[in-house]
Structure 1
């Protein structure tokens, strides 16, 4: 049964919980390392752990939702997220690692199912609803990063990270009414029978969507992790570089809200996919060849990051023929996509360390975003097949 009104809109509140518990970690890594004795390598692995959890858990989400229902699965994920933030902050050194992985696992469930809920509850406005969902997601990501250090100064880094479990608890309480009634039954993912279709892993369009999602995520996490460091090599003060990153994230909200009109169902989405993605290639190329126009390239990166995320999530919904197929496609794309994304920041840093310059990393990003643009065009023209 489709949700309407404010009950359907609760999915946007879930989006508020899916990033800050992760983006809040980076700014306080120094404090974590100073207290726990972890070196840079271990801290890098700690930062990548949620992405590895995404890759491990995403393929399993459809089975969980089929058994318990999509609404109940989201509620369980929110409750696990609350517990995971507590364990991460207050269960000692082992809890730091276990809790961090559990945070990623809980968020993975939300990552996979929220596009499915958007498809189910907003079937005639998928791209617009996805734009609003992404705006909430992006805003929360920026808030987690921006508030992390002030909250740590107020108490300590443990409090700074556990706060986001409190947000998840509030949203879980608001979500409770959605688990009542037949719409939360396990069959809710596929309320209408659809013709038999091959396994999602044999579906060419699924691999295109997976490649697009993976490249989009890789670029995003490389930029979030290393952009302030790259700017530092150009003489930009650390505080200013951090502000630049916040602006990039906030511009993603505008990009995500503007692109849906080019990705409507029933029209050729190929040109819209190019509009969403090509500025990534232009922006990274600009950083490489003309860093003096920094603000122009940052604006392009910010707008395109938001637009390309909406494009990726919209394709997961539009290319699926049912809610169940959407969950399978989302699980596949996010599992392999985040596995690639987890390797991205490490590979970028390793390349810069070995060459002594960030130019090869930027050149690599130019190539990856150009490939992403081409894949997006083909995916947009592909239809449901």
Structure 2
């Protein structure tokens, strides 16, 4: 753990670094550039498999003769797959190592992206679930790499990783229709994202020597493991991550529909949703490093939460009055995702605990997130309006801020 970012004494920090020489800052100087490139390329692959589907969903349904129920399953199940595969990631990392587990994740992602465009509706769903399983493994394990290989730059690297992840999501939704026009249809457009996954796999294999020490430690059977399921701070971090993911899924799934229902054109509604994703990129790059330099991240978490609540209040009162303003505020609030990942790394003392905490927070967190769009839609159907659903969102936001305030305090699981 970085001496300059923690409250430990200098002697204790030197002792910790002596016990774990592989966590010295020299890792960054020696091979950090290549590893950073690999992390960025990997992060760019973690959203296009999902966000590339939306713009082509109507064309896909027409070509495959699929129902609206099929479309709902296609867009909902990946989140649940994130939860299941995310919980399995620490187990896999202990057996084959972090580096190999991430390589496996990229291979699985590539296979899913290629397979899902080869046949009909069932193959599309199956391939998407395979791709989502690969994404889930990587989601959980990249924070472990950041913790182990960049211990003095956790905030900066988390910000870079999160920015690339968000940027990849925006590229998936923005470029896929154009790829379809260029390459002759939706199958080529969706399958083409496998090339980016292959590129990331090549970069990762070249850079994996820099995380070999993490792999060996996590795969070692002699490493004593302890469960975090009875750890109060671990559940606090999980609740914080789950609440922010819940809110993000609601916004991504329903905000365009809310805008369209209040007089915003379909094109502008899509642009506003894209803006929300793009806002997170600079926030991730600058806010995460600044927050990580402090012992306590609670103020940053609460501050972004207040901005998000202001946007939701605007959506609750009159979505069509100032949709651009509401979108900017909501986007700033959703940028807390980068801090959620930063907190996972900072609340653990070593890569082993980081792996457990990351798997727990993202596994259970994405399970909670999968309920968000469903609950929002049920409340909308039951009440015939948007007031009650947005009131529910406000309630979750309050819980997120409270859990985030506790998760941001300088403690360890």
TM over 0.5: yes
One of 381, 384, 398 as aligned partner of 1:353:
381
Residue in structure 2 matched with residue 257 of structure 1 by the alignment:
285
Q: Is the 8 A contact 1:228 1:238 kept in 2?
A: yes
1:153 is aligned to 181
Question: What CA distance in whole angstroms lies between the structure 1 residues aligned with 2:214 and 2:349?
Answer: 20
The answer to whether 1:342 aligns with 2:370 is yes
Q: What secondary structure, in the 3-state scheme, does the structure 2 residue paired with 1:71 have?
A: helix
Deviation per residue, 1:277-314 (Å, 9 max, x gap): 222222111211243132222111112212x1111101
Deviation, structure 1 residue 211: 0.7
Deviations 1:306-339 (A, max 9, x none): 2x11111011101112101101111111111111
**What are the residue-to-residue correspondences of 1:187-226 with 2, within 5 Å?**
187-189=216-218, 198-226=226-254
SS in 1 for 2:192: helix
Could you tell me which runs of 5 or more consecutive residues in structure 1 were left unpaired when the two chains were aligned. Answer: none
- Counterpart for residue 331 of structure 2: 302
- C-alpha distance in 1 between matches for 2:392 and 2:210: 50
* 1:47-76 Cα deviation digits (max 9, x unpaired): 112111111111111121122221111111
- 3-state DSSP of counterpart to 1:200: coil
Q: Report which stretch shifted further, 174-183 or 123-132.
A: 174-183
Does the aligned pair in 1 maintain the 2:145–2:211 contact within 8 Å?
no
Q: What is the CA–CA distance in structure 2 between the aligned matches of 1:283 and 1:189, rounded to whole Å?
A: 42
**215-224 or 270-279, which deviates more:** 270-279
Q: Identify which of 271, 283, 296 aligns with 2:299.
A: 271
Partner of 2:75: 47
Alignment equivalent of 2:193, drawn from 148, 164, 167: 164
Q: CA deviation at 1:263?
A: 2.1
Matching residue within 52, 56, 68 for 2:96: 68
Q: Distance in 2 between matches of 1:280 and 1:260?
A: 17
Q: C-alpha distance in 2, partners of 1:321/1:142?
A: 33
CA contact (8 A) 1:209 1:379 kept: yes
Is 1:56 the counterpart of 2:79? The answer is no
Aligned counterpart, 1:126: 154
Q: Deviations over 1:225-281 (max 9, x none)?
A: 111111001111101111111111111112212322442255222212212322222
Taking structure 1 as reference, are residues 381 and 258 closer, same or farther at Cα in structure 2, changes over 3 Å only?
Answer: same
TM-score (norm 2): 0.87
Report what 1:8 is aligned to: 35
SS at match of 1:324: helix
C-alpha separation in 2, matches of 1:218 and 1:342: 7
Cα distance in 2 between the residues matched to 1:227 and 1:340: 19
Distance 1:186 1:115, change over 3 A: closer
What SS does the corresponding residue of 1:201 show, helix, strand or coil? coil
State the Cα deviation string for residues 7-35 of structure 1 (Å, max 9, x = none): 22021211001011111111211122212
Structure 2 residue matching 1:47: 3-state secondary structure: helix
- Per the TM alignment, residue 94 of structure 1 is displaced from its structure 2 partner at its CA by 2.8
The answer to whether the 8 Å contact 2:48/2:168 transfers is yes
1:72–1:184 CA contact under 8 A, matched in 2: no
Equivalent of 1:313, from 341, 352, 367? Answer: 341
Bigger shift: residues 182-191 or 126-135: 182-191
Aligned-residue offset at 1:180: 4.8
CA distance in 1: counterparts of 2:392 and 2:231, whole angstroms: 28
The answer to whether the 8 A contact 2:309-2:333 is kept is no
Given that 2:35 and 2:204 are in contact with CA atoms closer than 8 Å, whether structure 1 keeps it comes out as: no
